[in-house]
Amino acid sequence: MKTIQKLLLGLGAGLLLIGCGNNSKSDSGAMASSNAEKVYVAPGEHDEFYAFLSGGYSGNLTVYGLPSGRMFKEIPVFSQFPTNGYGYSEESKAMLNTSFGFVPWGDSHHPDISQTNGKLDGRWVFINENNTPRIARISLETFETEEIIEIPNSAGNHASSYVTENTEYVVAGTRFAVPNPQKDMPIDEMKGEFKGPLTFIKVDQEHGHMEIDFQINMPGFNYDLSHPGRDKSHGWFFFTSYNTEEAHSMQEVNASQNDKDFIAAVNWMKIKEYVENGGGTEVAGTYAHNIYDESTMMATTEMKEGVTSVDPREVPGAVYYMPVPKSPHGIDVNPTGEYIIGNGKLSTQLSVYSFAKMQEAIKNKDFDGDAYGIPILKYESVLEGVVDSGGLGPLHTEFDGKGFGYTSFFISSEVVKWKVGTWEVVDRQPSFYSVGHLTIPGGNSREPFGKYMFSMNKITKDRYLPTGPELEHSAQLYDISGDKMELLLDFPTHGEPHYAAAIPADLIKSKSKKYYDLEDNNHKYAAKSESATRVERKGNEVHVYATTVRSHFSPDNIEGVKVGDKVYFHITNLEQDFDVPHGFAMIGANTSEILIMPGQTKTIIWEPKREGVWPFYCTDFCSALHQEMQGYVRVSAKNSDTKLRWSLDDEWKE
């Protein structure tokens, strides 16, 4: 009997244990569901933040919502975009002009949102192109690229496009030192001969128009990333450099020999004054400046010649080097502007420099020699502290505005949270996998919004359903509102986001344009009503002034086009309502479609090659009669005498 009791007791205890097990399981379930709730934005609801992720080798900029991780739009910037005709349409082709001619592709890297008093103001987002050095400006009203300026005398514009705290300047750097001016010379004689110009581009506060103010002709190290001073360090700009060895081959090894490389500290305020007072020399440098005019809906290129070059040694007190552990990547400044963080890519440490100590060292001429005449500040004199995390490969740091820094570690694949001032590590979370940059909304400004942080990871591997060898990159969203970071969400990105800028949605969403007012359309080839539609021949050029409205083109029948003609379809979308674009595509056109927003005019060229009757149609499902939104062009032989005429609903005109 007793044994049976014992057995039953034992069974009871077992059941209890099982019960406990179940309980703890449901706990973790509840935890997971609360994470789901944190990123759940109910259907029809809006996200709290906009995030603008660079597209890397897509050349574009993608727009995401946080915390949902949903992608809203891909904004074409440096690459042709057949989806809407950017870089194909007659209006937008000029955006991709450079001093090398039309370049259809770019490598976009570091978006940065315009600021006023060091705070995000939501006027524009800037983004740099690394390959053919350029900087673009994107309107946050239309979410379209409005301007692209090329950077002459530079190569590898990577340390860009960060803005000063009142958007006085946006900067460009040189990651691949080159002869300046360019010349035919032996590669292995680069040492001392190559240069790394840093370019300061003035921003017009009303329209955002960019203008190269000056280039600092720095020694030929590889300037990698940069960050402006904030608040008390406003007026300074900091650039990391690697390859201070000035290796020209097998840089993987040869540029990794020096134990320390340099951070260049640039007092741009001083150089600005120097240039204003006539300092610097005019040097050669051809560059394209492309501006899209929203009124004429036309992009134009102005080829410019010459820049003001400044020899940093000729402006006393303007440029210093600070030693930094081995091949640094990111350089970041905390919101108060006091601490400058060097992320030693091939080391375990972050070096924290004090702006006050830097000023003191400059005053005391506390130098450790010079590099090509630029004084090197003594490491020990400017160093405030070291974040020794035990992680490997720190790349980039942002701040939450609550006294903490967050650093990405590529090699050890993690994000590390540390305390500003004590430099102690307070938390670390793995990233999946190998994080590059990370972003906190406003995290590089004076006023971060420290609720979320997301990492942009370089390696995806098994995070999603496999899609063959080529994978999109992955991002991870962390809740940083508590003491410990909490991983909330994985979301795939497009291209290779190198960096992102994020901003509270409330700062921009009400300004977002719904459509273009037809009254303000000053396009040279616009037809603002169906009565204005027509077809004109000028030699072998045929200009079709057409309109779209749900659900027809006007005209929709055209005759008298001949083989060998160059047909310009100038399509004006007469709609005046939110989200009613029409598309236009022509069979056999060697271009792309065009997507025309309400009130907009866009032009695409078609060069008919064969006789016949050829259809065109609307590519955007615009209405219930979208399928019927089509038309025909009759193409006759080159020497035929078919009359040029056009019609809508059999009302022929000529």
Partner 1 sequence: MKTASITMIIGSAFLLGLFVFPLWSITLEAPQYPSGIGMYINLDGLEGHEKHDIQNIDGLNHYIGMRKLPKQDEMWEFSVFPKVIGGMAILGILIGLLGLFKKVSYKWFLGWLVLMTVLGVMGIFDFNAWMTDYGTNLDPKAIMKMTDEDGNPLSYKPPLFGSRDILNFTAHSYPAIGAVLMGIGMFLTFIAYIIGLKKAN
∠ CA 373-374-379, rounded to 5°: 130
Burial state string for 498-526 with b = 16 or more CB within 10 A and e = fewer than 16: bbbbbbbbebbeeeebebbebeebebebb
Residue (223 or 516) nearer to partner 1, CB: 516
Q: Closest distance between partner 1 and the C-beta of residue 517, in Å?
A: 8
State how far the alpha carbon of 564 is from the alpha carbons of 406, 506, 567, 588, 589, in Å. Answer: 61, 53, 9, 13, 13
Residue (428 or 552) nearer to partner 1, CB: 552
Q: 595 exposed, middle or buried (CB, 10 Å; 0-12, 13-18, 19+)?
A: buried
Residue (1 or 624) nearer to partner 1, CB: 624
Residue (42 or 624) nearer to partner 1, CB: 624
Q: Closest distance between partner 1 and the C-beta of residue 579, in Å?
A: 9
Q: Closest distance between partner 1 and the C-beta of residue 551, in Å?
A: 9
Closest CA to 163 of 144, 190, 138, 196: 138
Question: Cβ contacts of residue 617 below 8 Å, gap of 6+?
Answer: 584, 585, 629, 630, 631
Q: Closest distance between partner 1 and the C-beta of residue 598, in Å?
A: 9
Residues that bind partner 1 (CB under 8 A): 517, 549-550, 575-577, 624-625
Q: Closest distance between partner 1 and the C-beta of residue 648, in Å?
A: 14
Residue (293 or 517) nearer to partner 1, CB: 517
Residue (298 or 549) nearer to partner 1, CB: 549
Answer yes or no: are the C-beta atoms of 477 and 454 closer than 8 Å: yes
Q: Closest distance between partner 1 and the C-beta of residue 571, in Å?
A: 18
DSSP, collapsed to helix, strand or coil, labels residue 276 as helix
Residue (243 or 573) nearer to partner 1, CB: 573
Instruction: For residue 555, say if its preceding peptide bond is cis, omega within 30 degrees of 0.
Output: yes
Closest CA to 503 of 113, 141, 137, 166: 113
Q: Where are the alpha helices (DSSP H) in 325-435?
A: 355-363, 379-382
Q: Closest distance between partner 1 and the C-beta of residue 62, in Å?
A: 25
Q: Taking the CB of residue 246, how many other CB atoms lie within 10 A of it?
A: 18
What does the block give as tokens for 516?
A: 């273009």
8-state DSSP, 53: E
Residue (37 or 519) nearer to partner 1, CB: 519
Q: List, as one string, the DSSP characters of 217-274.
A: EEESSEEEEEEE--GGGTTEEEEEEE-TT---S-HHHHTT--SEEEEEEEEHHHHHHH
Residue (378 or 550) nearer to partner 1, CB: 550
Q: Closest distance between partner 1 and the C-beta of residue 627, in Å?
A: 12
Q: Closest distance between partner 1 and the C-beta of residue 528, in Å?
A: 13
